[in-house]
Amino acid sequence: MRAKEEIVFHVSKKKVGLGIVAQAALAGLFWLMANIEPTQDGRLVAAKLIGIVLFIVFVLILLASAKKLFEKSPILVINSIGIAGSDFELIPWRKIKSLSATKSFRSGNDIHLNLFDAKRPVKIKSNLVDISFDELAALIRQYYKKYGQG
């Protein structure tokens, strides 16, 4: 079945690029921390160990983020049939019970889809697409209202 209307979102190279710059800066900071010379009584040994561990963690995160720059497949597709993401298969609009948009710094900007047949809501992260959280939430609501039971 071919969708009447379709909007396809790919990874925002700008947002991922800014994230990579921030992660590289933090990795550099932790590299400096890891290379602190300990005092004779060893008080900076813990800081040095923490710096080494955090440097390794941020380098791994940096590599995972860099991988996103080369992804070709869409991360979100919204059409007249339903909504699909890189983390979940197509969900027809008629199966969606309700929509709720949650804006939280702690958990990122999530849009929750509560489904009739699912025990947990589906989370859509807006931090990797080229439009804002509010625009994405409004777009999903618009499609849900037009093609779903909302």
Same domain, 41 and 78: no
Whole-number pLDDT of residue 27: 86
Whole-number pLDDT of residue 78: 92
Q: Which helix (H) or strand (E) holds 142?
A: helix 133-147
**What are the pLDDT tens digits along the chain (150 aa)?**
556 688 888 887 887 788 888 888 888 888 887 787 766 666 677 777 888 888 888 888 888 878 877 878 888 899 999 998 888 888 888 888 888 877 766 656 667 766 666 667 787 877 778 888 888 888 988 998 888 865
Q: Please tell me the distance from the alpha carbon of residue 48 to that of residue 99, in angstroms, as a whole number.
A: 47
7 assigned to some structural domain: no
3 assigned to some structural domain: no
Whole-number pLDDT of residue 42: 64
Q: Quick check: helix, strand or coil at residue 134?
A: helix
Same domain, 86 and 59: no
Same domain, 89 and 129: yes
Same domain, 79 and 130: yes
133 assigned to some structural domain: yes
- Which residues neighbour 3 within 8 Å (Cβ) at sequence distance 6 or greater? 79, 80, 81
- Model pTM? 0.68
E-state strands within the chain: 6-9, 76-79, 82-85, 88-92, 96-104, 108-115, 122-125
Residues in the chain: 150
Whole-number pLDDT of residue 99: 81
Same domain, 63 and 87: no
* Residue (of 11, 3, 30) closest to 92 by Cα position: 3
6 assigned to some structural domain: no
Residue 111's domain comprises: 73-147
Same domain, 50 and 101: no
Whole-number pLDDT of residue 106: 64
- Residue at a domain's end among 68, 96, 131: 68
- Residue at a domain's end among 23, 49, 68: 68
Same domain, 43 and 90: no
Same domain, 142 and 79: yes
Count up the domains in the chain and report the number: 2
